[in-house]
């Protein structure tokens, strides 16, 4: 069961003015007649706007969408008045509901329209319509509303849009979504750019290493196994080079590294790039500076002579027997007899006690100065050691050894510009900052050594020393950053240089092997992951093929069923023709192309029919009927509760109008499906009113008295009123033929009136 519409109210929408117009739809069939330009198409679009919030004609017909700017709000509607379309519907469960769509912003040159959907007075979304039994289809033909501009849409769209339409129609987009999700996993399974794997692959290209390593990929060893296999490779290279093979793996690896360096050095002194890591160093902290300042303070509390003697007195008190002296003895310091008395010893002890804090401060100051001397020296040594080795040699020595930029460029050829220039650019700051750091730290070291030689006699300027160490700390930070930048550029240069040197010395792959041998566990983990990725990738490819195969089968079945439904509606519209609709189906060998096929037959049984594309074979009339058949098949497939058909049969197709009016409408009502027919053909209106009177058909007419008031909907099943309304419409035309037709309609209306009077009189008398 699906929803049925029982009334539609329109105000201010397109041809409809400020007075609300209501179309009554009490039964399952209704026919609305309106001459051209009297609001019939606007009525069909009102249904569409109510359900979707837009009109498809903007997308399907406009060469530029700004042509529909301000197209929904009636041009003559007073400002401030709401534009809306509302409907009363009966849901599948028999409950009645009110749906209303209010226009909040019309189409503009660069924006879509905006609206507010209400269900029973509450704000709602399009998805909420499904709970009332109203299902929308694939855009842009979402609503079950057929108009002239939608009949040929599916024949003229791009192949991808046509494929999307049918996939949504057949509800196989879930399969597409599943396939896309599965296919997206391939990106996650892509092999990462791991350097060890790249090195392993390069080793596989070496003539000696390939036979030894290829077995690893076929049968994955454990960590001990891969370690042994890499060591076998090292031994094979040493033996091939005629070099002695040491007894232990570590010795063999060291031997191969040395041999590789020697062979590279024959072409270029590569050891010149080597450098030690910058040694760790921390600037002296606040405690050190506090101790120096405390020493300076304590120093001012003791006179110079006392400072000089205090150390001597301390040593004297350490002599044996000093604590127990009870009589005058020889002075242990100067050797004079009878000079050191208990009283004088007590005086010395008092003197030492008075200078105790100074002595402590002096000891601490000496220790701090010693630490500062070491710190400055370590910084200078560390800065020198962290330089690349070639910087430690004089320019002449470098040229003699062949460590020159010209030689680098010659070896690297076309690659030189990409790696040599960045290396030079980072080398200059390293050389400059290293020299500055070493000069400053050496100068400070010399200054601190002089202070350390005579702490008591030296003048210690703590603030100056602290400022110097802060400056050194900043210089070291800059130097460390410069080294980091340099290392990146130097690494790129060395990689390119080593490749060139290995090419010359036939040592390609050696360095890669040494790197892998230093971390076999990491290589094993990556190889296991690679195999797992390869396995899952194959499974993924198989799954995608299975999904594609399943989707193809599902589509074939659904296309076959849908083709049968279209054929059924086609035959009801155009029975027993020799040129007929045959099938809609995916083109073989193409994933995004859907073909409509027509049959050309010379016999009634159609057994020898030739198949061609409908676009090339069908006339406009046939395409029109095929579009109608497609629409009806879709409505049947989706279980639409109602359809709105705007001039479903061309006015020139009189031969097929009878089939629509009888067979097609009868079948639609039998589904059951509510049918609302909008037509400009008065004869169709009259015929349907007569033919389906038993089915409770409701009729209405559209006319315009004043453009400012807009279209008027007059609900009537009274033939007399219908004739008078038609005459009224014709009377507004200024052409003589219109006036002539108006006279005919008035005469018919008069005859109808007289007949009804006679029938009423006879009815009363017989009563």
Other CB atoms within 10 A of residue 36 CB: 7
Q: Is 120 left (phi over 0), alpha (psi -120 to 50) or beta?
A: left
Question: What is the rounded CA–CA span in Å between residue 116 and residue 131?
Answer: 18
- Map out the domains of the chain as residue ranges: 1-26+34-134+688-717, 719-767
pLDDT of residue 738: 75
Render pLDDT for 109-130 as a digit per residue (tens, 0 to 9): 888 999 999 999 999 998 899 9
Question: What is the rounded CA–CA span in Å between residue 310 and residue 317?
Answer: 11
Helices (H) and strands (E) in the chain, counts: 27, 15
pLDDT of residue 533: 86
Question: What is the rounded CA–CA span in Å between residue 152 and residue 614?
Answer: 12
pLDDT of residue 489: 93
Question: Can you point out the beta strands (E) in 681-736?
Answer: 698-703, 712-715
Above 70 in pLDDT, residue 308? no
Starting at the edge strand found earlier in the chain, the sheet holding 84-90 runs: 21-24, 4-11, 84-90, 96-105, 114-119, 122-124
Above 90 in pLDDT, residue 361? no
Highest mean pLDDT among 280-289, 315-324, 738-747: 280-289
Render pLDDT for 511-551 as a digit per residue (tens, 0 to 9): 888 989 999 888 888 888 888 888 888 888 888 888 888 87
Pick the CATH number of 1-26+34-134+688-717 from 3.40.50, 1.10.3470, 3.30.2170, 2.60.220: 3.40.50
Joined together, the tokens standing for residue 59 give 């997308």
For residue 144, CA distances in Å to 7, 628, 700 come to: 16, 12, 20
pLDDT of residue 174: 67
Q: Across all residues in the chain, what is the average pLDDT? A: 85
Render pLDDT for 405-451 as a digit per residue (tens, 0 to 9): 999 999 899 889 999 999 999 999 999 999 999 999 999 999 999 88
747 vs 600, residue with greater confidence: 600
pLDDT of residue 354: 59
| pLDDT range class, residue 377, cuts 50, 70, 90 | very high
Above 60 in pLDDT, residue 717? no
Say which residues have a Cβ less than 8 Å from residue 575's Cβ, sequence separation at least 6.
659
730 vs 468, residue with greater confidence: 468
pLDDT of residue 571: 93
pLDDT of residue 303: 63
Highest mean pLDDT among 4-8, 240-244, 623-627: 4-8
For residue 236, CA distances in Å to 206, 208, 240, 244, 253 come to: 11, 7, 6, 11, 12
1 vs 372, residue with greater confidence: 372
Starting at the edge strand found earlier in the chain, the sheet holding 712-715 runs: 145-146, 642-646, 674-679, 29-33, 698-703, 712-715
pLDDT of residue 322: 66
Query: Parallel, antiparallel, or unpaired: how do β-strands 674-679 and 642-646 relate?
Result: parallel
pLDDT of residue 338: 67
Render pLDDT for 85-108 as a digit per residue (tens, 0 to 9): 999 999 999 999 999 999 999 999
Pick from 566, 722, 661: which is nearest to 33 by CA?
Answer: 722
């Amino acid at each position: 069961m699906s929803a049925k519409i029982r009334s539609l109210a329109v105000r201010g929408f397109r041809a409809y003015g400020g007075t609300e117009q209501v179309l009554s739809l009490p039964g399952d069939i209704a026919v609305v007649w309106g001459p051209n330009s009297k609001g019939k198409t606007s009525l069909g679009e009102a249904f569409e706007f109510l359900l979707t919030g837009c009109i498809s004609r903007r997308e399907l017909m406009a060469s530029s969408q700004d042509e529909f700017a301000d197209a929904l709000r009636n041009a003559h509607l007073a400002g401030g008045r709401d534009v809306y379309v509302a409907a009363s519907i009966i849901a599948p469960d028999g409950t009645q509901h009110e749906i209303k769509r209010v226009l909040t912003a019309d189409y503009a040159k660069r924006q879509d329209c905006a609206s507010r959907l209400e269900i029973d007075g509450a704000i709602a979304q399009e998805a909420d319509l499904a709970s009332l039994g109203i299902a929308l289809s694939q855009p842009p033909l979402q609503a079950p509303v057929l108009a002239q501009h939608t009949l040929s849409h599916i024949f003229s769209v791009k192949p991808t849009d046509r494929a999307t339409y049918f996939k949504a129609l057949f509800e196989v987009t879930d399969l597409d979504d599943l396939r896309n999700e599965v296919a997206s996993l391939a990106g996650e399974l892509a092999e990462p750019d791991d350097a060890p794997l790249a090195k392993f692959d390069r080793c596989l290209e070496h003539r000696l290493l390939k036979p030894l390593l290829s077995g690893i990929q076929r049968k994955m060893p454990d960590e001990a196994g891969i370690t042994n296999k890499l060591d076998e490779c090292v031994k094979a290279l040493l033996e091939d080079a005629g070099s002695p093979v040491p007894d232990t793996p570590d010795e063999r690896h060291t031997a191969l590294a040395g041999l590789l360096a020697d062979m590279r050095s024959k072409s270029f002194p590569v050891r010149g790039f080597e450098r030690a890591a910058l040694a760790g160093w921390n600037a002296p902290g606040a405690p050190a500076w506090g101790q120096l300042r405390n020493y300076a303070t304590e120093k001012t509390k003791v006179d110079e002579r006392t400072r000089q003697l205090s150390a001597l007195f301390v040593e004297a008190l350490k002599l044996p027997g000093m604590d127990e002296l009870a009589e005058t003895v020889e002075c242990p310091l100067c050797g004079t007899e009878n000079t050191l008395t208990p009283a004088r010893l007590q005086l010395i002890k008092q003197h030492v006690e008075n200078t105790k804090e100074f002595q402590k401060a002096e000891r601490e100051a000496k220790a701090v100065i010693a630490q500062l001397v070491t710190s400055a020296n370590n910084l200078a040594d560390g800065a020198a050691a962290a330089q690349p080795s070639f910087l430690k040699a004089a320019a002449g020595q470098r040229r003699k050894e062949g460590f020159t930029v010209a030689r680098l460029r010659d070896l690297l050829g076309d690659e030189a510009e990409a790696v040599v220039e960045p290396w030079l650019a980072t080398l200059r700051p390293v050389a400059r900052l290293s020299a500055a750091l070493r000069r400053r730290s050496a100068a400070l070291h010399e200054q601190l050594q002089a202070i350390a030689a005579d702490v008591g006699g030296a003048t210690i300027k703590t603030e100056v020393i602290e400022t110097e160490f802060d400056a050194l700390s900043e210089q070291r930070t800059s130097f460390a950053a410069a080294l980091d930048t340099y290392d990146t550029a130097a690494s790129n240069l060395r990689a390119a240089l080593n490749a060139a040197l290995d090419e010359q010395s036939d040592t390609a792959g050696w360095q890669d092997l040494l790197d892998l041998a230093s971390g076999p566990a990491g290589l094993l983990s990556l190889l296991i992951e690679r195999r797992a990725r390869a396995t899952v990738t194959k499974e993924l490819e198989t799954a995608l093929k299975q999904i594609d195969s399943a989707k193809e089968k599902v589509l074939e079945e659904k296309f076959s069923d849908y083709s049968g439904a279209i054929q059924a509606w086609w035959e009801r519209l155009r029975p027993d023709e020799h040129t007929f609709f045959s099938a809609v189906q995916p083109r073989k060998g193409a994933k995004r192309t859907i073909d409509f096929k027509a049959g050309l037959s010379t016999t009634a049984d159609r057994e020898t029919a030739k198949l061609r594309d409908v676009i090339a074979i069908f006339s406009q009339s046939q395409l029109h009927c095929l579009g109608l058949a497609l629409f009806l098949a879709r409505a049947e497939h989706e279980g639409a509760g109602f359809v709105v058909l705007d001039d479903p049969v061309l006015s020139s197709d009189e031969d097929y109008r009878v089939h629509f009016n009888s067979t097609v409408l009868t079948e639609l009502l039998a589904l059951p499906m509510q049918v609302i027919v909008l037509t400009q053909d008065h004869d169709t209106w009259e015929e349907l009113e007569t033919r389906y009177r038993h089915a409770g058909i409701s009729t209405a007419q559209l006319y315009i008295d004043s453009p400012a008031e807009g279209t008027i909907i007059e609900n009537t099943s009274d033939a007399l009123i219908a004739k008078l309304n038609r005459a009224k419409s014709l009377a507004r035309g200024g052409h003589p033929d219109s006036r002539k037709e108006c006279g005919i309609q008035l005469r018919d209306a008069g005859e109808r009136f007289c007949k009804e009077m006679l029938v009423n009189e006879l009815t009363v008398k017989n009563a």
